[in-house]
């Protein structure tokens, strides 16, 4: 167990940790693929998304809206169909409808009584603004890939966040669902980490590439983390 009293800031990944991005991804891609006679199961769609997204984010920086557009294009290339212009934009356009996990908002409200809250997200500023409306709390800092001009798991995104937070590393706790995007890099920089293992009861790794690391704490959801870190407020 970690001592939550030593931390002044909680940094959060957004999509997959706070926002249910896998259901959002599936909600956008399943009907698109079926419209082109491509019938894949949920795990196949999510694993291909992870493959395509990681490939696109590893190259020269492009905005996340363009990443998602090219993800759709790669599905077309893989399964021999040509997406329409509307279909190419449909995945990015769907982000405004992606909803928080059922425990997210209440947990964030509990965290605000004790910690500064910070977002470190692989997203564009304007796309995160659409999601922020669903989260219902004010964040002290919001660091996006658009600001960093790079994508996690790049060290650059975390270094920018650490610089802006302006606290000793030992007072920052990073909370994320993706070992690949977040936990490995955060730990390499000396940050304490919490792995929110939302897929603990599911097969496969979902919409992120597989990776191995040892977080300081593993929890199944944010409700559990809130109860551990802010028991009086939750």
> Catalytic residue at 13?
yes
Measured distance CA(15)–CA(102) in Å, rounded: 14
Given the residues 13, 20, 103, 124, select the one marked as catalytic: 13
DSSP-derived 3-state class of residue 100: strand
Q: Per residue, what are the HEC states of 162-190? A: HHHHCCCHHHEEEEECCHHHHHHHHHHCC
Measured distance CA(155)–CA(152) in Å, rounded: 7
In the structure encoding, which two tokens stand for residue 2, read together?
A: 């970690």
DSSP sequence for 106-147:
HHHHHHHTTSEEEEEESS-HHHHHHHHHHH-S--SEEEEHHH
Under 8 Å between Cβ of 61 and 149: yes
CB atoms within 10 A of CB 175: 29
Residue 163 burial (C-beta neighbours within 10 Å; 0-12, 13-18, 19+): exposed
Which active-site residues does the annotation give? 13
């Amino acid at each position: 167990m970690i001592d939550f009293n030593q931390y002044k800031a909680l940094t959060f990944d957004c999509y997959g940790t706070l926002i249910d991005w896998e259901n959002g991804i599936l909600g956008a891609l399943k009907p698109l693929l079926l419209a082109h006679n491509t019938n894949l199961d949920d795990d196949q769609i999510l694993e291909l998304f992870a493959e395509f997204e990681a490939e696109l984010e590893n190259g020269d920086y492009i905005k996340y809206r363009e990443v998602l557009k090219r993800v759709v294009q790669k599905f077309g290339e893989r399964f021999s169909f040509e997406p329409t212009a509307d279909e190419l934009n449909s995945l990015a356009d769907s982000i405004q409808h992606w909803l928080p996990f059922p425990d997210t908002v209440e947990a964030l409200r509990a965290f605000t009584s004790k910690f500064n809250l910070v977002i470190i997200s692989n997203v564009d500023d304007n796309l995160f603004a659409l999601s922020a409306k669903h989260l219902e709390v004010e964040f002290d800092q919001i660091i996006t890939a658009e600001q960093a001009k790079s994508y996690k798991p790049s060290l650059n995104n975390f270094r920018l966040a650490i610089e802006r937070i302006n606290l000793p590393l030992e007072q920052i706790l990073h909370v994320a669902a993706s070992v690949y995007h977040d936990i490995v890099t955060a730990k390499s920089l000396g940050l304490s980490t919490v792995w929110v293992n939302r897929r603990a009861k599911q097969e496969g790794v979902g919409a992120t590439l597989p990776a191995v690391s040892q977080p300081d704490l593993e929890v199944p959801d944010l409700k559990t983390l809130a109860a551990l870190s802010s028991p009086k407020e939750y």
